Amino acid sequence: MSSTDPQQSASGSQDPTSYLRSATFTRDGPAVSVENAVTANDLLLGAYDPAKLHPLAQLGDQLDYLVLDDDKMSELPGAGTAIPSRGWSDDLCYGTGTMYLSGLALGGVWGVSEGARRPLAVSNTRLRINSVLNSVTRRGTFIGNSAGVLALVYNGINSSIDGFRGKHDTAGSMAAGALTGALYKSTAGVKPALAAATFVSGMAGIWSYVKKRRTRQIPPATPITPVKCISSSYKKLFHELPWESPQASPRSVASSDHSNTQSPPSAWSLPIQSESSSQQAAAWNQASSTDCASPSMSNQYTSSQSRVQHSSSYHLDVVQHPQRTAEFGSASLSRLPLAPPVVVQLIVRDRFGNSIIPEMELPFLIAHLSLFTDDGSRPLDMGTSPSGEAPPRRLLYGNLVSSPQKLRDLQGRLGLYFLFPDASIRWRGRFQLGISLLRISETDASGTMSIASQGTVLAQARTRPFDVFAHQNYVAPPVTRLTQSFLRQGARIHAFTPNGP
C-alpha cells in the first residue's frame, strides 16, 4: 500500500494530520472510481477499534443491557435527597471544603465587626484598617480551621455509621453530630462536651431535614419506564401487529387508516432498545403508561383532531439505502453500524392529496426495523454463524426503533424522516431490511385519542439488498451528502464529519 501523492507527503509545510485525512491509498486489484477511493479514514476505521479498549469489551453478549435498580440506588448515602452523595470520599471533599469556606466567611464578618468597633488610642484611618485586617485574619482562620476539623470528623463518623447500619438517614446524621461535638470539646470538661454534642447534633438534624424538605418541593422528573412495563408494551405493540405477506413490493407499501389485522410471524421477537431523542423517550413512556399508570394519566386530544387523522394516508420512502457493514459476531461492543445509515421519509397526505405534517399525531408514530433475506421472502430474527458451530442468536442488533424528525433534504424542503444510525448485523451474508410505520394511539367512542393497548401498522417499506462482510474485509463507504446535511442540522448520526465546508 502506498500513497498516491508522495510529493505532497514529502512537503514539510503541510500539517501531517490534514494530509492523512485527505490522502488516498491504492492496492493491487482492479481500478476504482475516485468517489470510492480508499481514504485514511477508511483505513483507520477498519484497523483501529476504540471499543476494544472499553473495560467491558471482554463480556461479549453476556451484557445486553445495563439496568440500575431503584432499590439499590436508594441505599447509597444521601440518595433521594436534593444534594445526593457518592459516599465517604464525596462528603469528605465537598463537606469539608464547604464548611471551611463558610467558616472563613463567618470569621471574616466577625473580624470586620470587631475591628471596626475596637477603640484606638489615636483616630487614624491606617490604624483602623490595620485593626480590621488583624481581626479578620485572627477570627477567620480560627473559625475556618475549627469548622474544617469538625467537618472532617463528622463525615468520617457519619460514613462509618451509615456503613455499619446499611442506610443513610437523619438519625445517623444526628448521632454523628453528637459524637463529633463531644469529641471536639472533650478536653474542656463534661458540660462543654455535652453542650457541643447537643449543638452539633441539632445542626446535623436541621441540615438533614432541610435537604429532605427541598427534595419534596422539587417537581418530579419524567419517570423512567420500568423494564417490566416496557416488555409488556413491546409485546402489545409488536407481537399483536398486523403484518403483510412477504410478496409485497420491496420498495414501499402505503396504507390509509383502515388496516387489516393479520397475525405476525410467531418467531418475530423484539429486544428492548434505548431511544436517542426526547421524542422517543416521551413516546415510550406514554406507550407504557397503560400498564403502569391509571388511564387518567394518558395524554388525550380532542375529537376534531382525531377526525383529521382518520382521513390521512401514510407512505414510507427509503431515501438512503444501506450499502454494507461488518459482522460483529460475539463482540457486540465492537460492532459497526450499517453504512450509510438507513434514512426513511414519512409522507402523510390529507384526503385532498396534499402533503401535511400531523403535529398532534407525531408523538404516536414510530418506525421499526426488521431483518429479511436478500429476496425479502423470509424474516430473519435468529441465525447461526457461517460455520454453523455457534448456536442460533439474534441477528439484527442495535437501536431498531425511531421517532420522526423534522429535517430538510438537499433541496431545502422540510420533511419527516426516520433515522436508523445504530443498526448492526451479527453474521456475514446478504440481507434486506424492512421498515414498519406504527401508530400507538386509539380513538374511543367519544372521539378522544389516547394511548392504545396495541399498535397499528400504517405503512411498510423495504431497503435494497446489502452485504455484510467479515471485519477484516470491510471498507467503509464514503459519507453521503444527505448524511452530511442531516449532521449539520443536528441529527444524531454516527459518521465522520467532513473536513471541508
Q: Which CATH number fits domain 229-488: 3.40.50.970, 2.60.40.3960, 3.40.50.720, 3.30.1330.60?
A: 2.60.40.3960
pLDDT digits (tens, 9 = 90+) for 208-260: 777 766 555 544 444 434 434 444 444 444 444 444 444 444 444 455 444 44
User: Highest mean pLDDT range out of 275-279, 302-306, 457-461, 489-493?
Assistant: 457-461
Give 416's contacts (C-beta < 8 A, 6+ positions apart).
345, 346, 347, 348, 357, 362, 404, 405, 406
- Domain residue spans in the chain? 2-42, 88-217, 229-488
pLDDT digits (tens, 9 = 90+) for 275-325: 344 444 444 344 444 444 433 333 333 334 444 445 788 999 999 999 999
Give 235's contacts (C-beta < 8 A, 6+ positions apart).
none
41 alpha-carbon distance from chain centroid: 26
Q: Which residue has the higher pLDDT, 479 or 22?
A: 479
- Using an 8 Å Cβ cutoff, are 417 and 346 in contact? yes
Q: Is the pLDDT of residue 418 over 90?
A: yes
Q: Is the pLDDT of residue 69 over 80?
A: no
Within 10 angstroms of residue 286's Cβ, the number of other Cβ atoms is 21
What pLDDT, on the 0 to 100 scale, is given for residue 310?
A: 56
Q: What's the angle, vertex CA 297, arms to CA 70 and CA 443, rounded to 5?
A: 130
H/E/C letters for each residue in 164-225? HHCCCCHHHHHHHHHHHHHHHCHHHCHHHHHHHHHHHHHHHHHHHHHHHHHHHHCCCCCCCC
Q: Is the pLDDT of residue 273 over 60?
A: no
Q: The whole model's pTM is what?
A: 0.42
Q: Which residue has the cell 397499528?
A: 456
Q: Judging by beta carbons within 10 Å of its beta carbon (0-12, 13-18, 19+), is residue 370 exposed, middle or buried?
A: buried
- At residue 463 the predicted structure's pLDDT band, cuts being 50, 70 and 90, is very high
